[in-house]
Chains A and B, each alone.
Chain A
Amino acid sequence: MTHIVDVGERHIREINEEIQEAAARGDEIRVVNTLSRHNLGVGLPDGCKISFEGSVGYYCGGLNTGARIEVERNAGWAVGEGMSKGHITVGGYAGMSVGAAMINGTIHVKGDAGPRCGVAMKGGNIVVEGKIGYQSGFMAHQGKIIALGGAGESCADALWSAEVWVAGDVDSLGVDVNVVEPTAEEVAEVDAILDPLGLVDSSRNWRKMVAGERLWYFESRDASAWLMI
């Protein structure tokens, strides 16, 4: 059965407790009247299936441990922050820091994403059908950020071992980026991530961005590269 959670002006703790109780019973959950409130559906358990009417505020789906989460329209800052498992779909625009420090799982954004998409992510995949914002991938350790509609300025800035894949225009590259030609095997790996989302298109001209590794070890002769402004 589907459990309806009405958000409105209620205290966020009360709302999230109601969501957790419904998830523990195994109900499918529909959250309505969200009013773009913050912190909705944080720490959801494995197996939970939940959808949010309209838009949500900051940190929706944060610390997700396996839930399948759908946001109809926009998400504010840091959707899926720190998630370790699960799948989040945002129907519209996702704000700053999508999947910040996420460990695993998938975040799928159907619109554009804001600045610092995938900041400090440690694993998992972020797929953005539109454009990713300024400084996306900033200091990302591992995992893939895949943008199908281009990237803003300072793309893939100061990466660790994560990869930023962009189809479309990149406004500018960040500090210490290597743009490499992906092998057919690597493209097949990305297509395997896109396939369940119905987004495979073999005509894409990919740019794969990885760390130049110069900033991984500080050398005084590189000091100017550390000054980003």
Chain B
Amino acid sequence: MCGIAGRILNAPGQVGRDLVDLMDAQEHRGADSTGFAIYGPPREAGYVLRGMGYDKSKVDADLVDLKAIMTDHGADFAADPQVLTDAAPYYCFRVEMTDPRDLAAWVADADTLTDRIEVQSCGRSLEIIKDVGGAAQVADKHGVRDMEGTHGLGHARLATESDVRPNASHPFWARPFSDVAIVHNGQITDYFTKRDQLTRQGYRFLTENDSELIAVWVSDQMKAGLTMPQALTKSIGSIDGVFTYMIATTDGIGFAKDRYAMKPLVVIDQAGDLAMATEEQAVRRIFQGEEDVINYDGPSMTALWGVGNRSLAA
């Protein structure tokens, strides 16, 4: 049992604050770890990286090596890296970088450092913040409530398939596709086989979490030519297990649900001002009036919600 949430604003605003509210209302669904994927104002060039290092005493050496790999790819830090530590042995970082010549090639080389540091999101707009603890605890530590943007995802985790660790929590970035993130409620049963197939194609998985598959699988289908609605529909027949997941890009949020109709999703849509969550009591934190909720309760469902007038259908 996990809790997921999504939020789309009609205009850039306090999406971080709303996602914290949505996740705080669902903390009972899983308080192991909480995570957020926030789409801020997109930059014309350069990427924001979010990630973590396992040993905070080695942060300086880690960042020197990360920068060296950027240099190899014609990129550099665009600002001083921000590092966040607390009592835990690991640290979290936020790095702004200039454009590398080839993003996927840079990600592959940066991933040679994954015994020490792990890039957890990369995007012109996307930033993934995830850590152990409940919504308020993670929000306070990382300043999530102050993060502005147009849309985003949230996740409260009750670990079933892998460790309780900050990097095994959601949202997952669709490594190495910039600006793609997912949250998932359920369990994937054939993830090991599918990961193996994707790994042989050159993709890299950093955790033993079943959900990490979904982000990469859907993105790979879209790379092969499917539209997002086609890829979402195909996932229902191709991925085995119980799932309700949401996948976000800079253009909006898509959703798919398995054939067994096990995991709920509740949506309030006020002319494109949207809140989605596992439980109605979460979306009522955002819309407290008489707004109607839509229950996506059937089997094999998909939906797409664009930001503003953007479309995910093409």
Contact = CB atoms under 8 A, between A and B. Distances in A.
A135 B261 contact: yes
B299 A115 contact: yes
Contacts of A229: 259
Interface residues of B, number: 12
A153 to B, nearest CB: 6
Contacts of A35: 281, 284
Q: Which of B279, B284, B297 has the most CB of A within 10 A?
A: B297
B297 A133 contact: yes
B295 A114 contact: yes
A52 interface: no
B283 to A, nearest CB: 8
Nearest to B285: A35
Contact of B279 (A57, A134, A153, A154): A57
A30 interface: no
A36 B284 CA distance: 7
Contact of A57 (B259, B280, B298): B280
A95 B297 contact: yes
In the complex, which range does the number of interface residues on chain A fall in?
A: 20 to 34
A55 B280 contact: yes
> Could you tell me the dominant secondary structure of chain B's interface residues?
loop
A143 interface: no
A76 B261 contact: no
Contacts of A96: 261, 264, 297
Contact of A134 (B261, B280, B293): B261
A38 interface: yes
A160 interface: no
A152 B295 CA distance: 14
Contacts of B261: 96, 115-116, 133-135
Nearest to A38: B281
A57 to B, nearest CB: 5
B280 A74 contact: yes
Contacts of B284: 35-36, 55
A95 B295 contact: yes
B281 A57 contact: yes
24 contacts: A35-B284, A36-B279, A36-B281, A36-B284, A38-B279, A55-B280, A55-B293, A74-B280, A74-B293, A76-B280, A77-B264, A95-B295, A96-B264, A114-B264, A115-B299, A116-B261, A133-B261, A133-B298, A134-B298, A134-B299, A135-B261, A152-B298, A153-B298, A229-B259
A11 B284 CA distance: 18
Nearest to B288: A35
Interface string B180-202: 00000000000000000000000
B279 A76 contact: yes
Given A77-B264, A133-B261, A134-B261, A36 B298 contact: no
A115 B279 contact: no
Contacts of A93: 293, 295
Interface string A122-148: 000000000001110000000000000
Q: Which of A38, A134, A152 has the most CB of B within 10 A?
A: A134
Nearest to A116: B261
B22 to A, nearest CB: 13
Interface in A64-96: 74, 76-77, 93, 95-96
A151 B125 CA distance: 43
Give the top 5 A-B pairs by smallest Cβ distance, nearest first: A36-B281, A114-B297, A36-B280, A115-B261, A134-B261
A37 interface: yes
Q: Which of A36, A133, A229 has the most CB of B within 10 A?
A: A36
Interface string B281-313: 100100000000101011100000000000000
Nearest to B294: A93
A115 B297 contact: yes
A76 B279 CA distance: 8
Contacts of B280: 36, 55, 57, 74, 76
A58 B295 CA distance: 14
Interface in A12-60: 35-38, 55, 57-58
Nearest to A154: B299
Given A77-B264, A95-B264, A96-B264, 13 more contacts: A58-B279, A76-B279, A93-B293, A96-B261, A114-B264, A115-B261, A115-B298, A133-B261, A133-B298, A134-B297, A134-B299, A135-B299, A153-B298
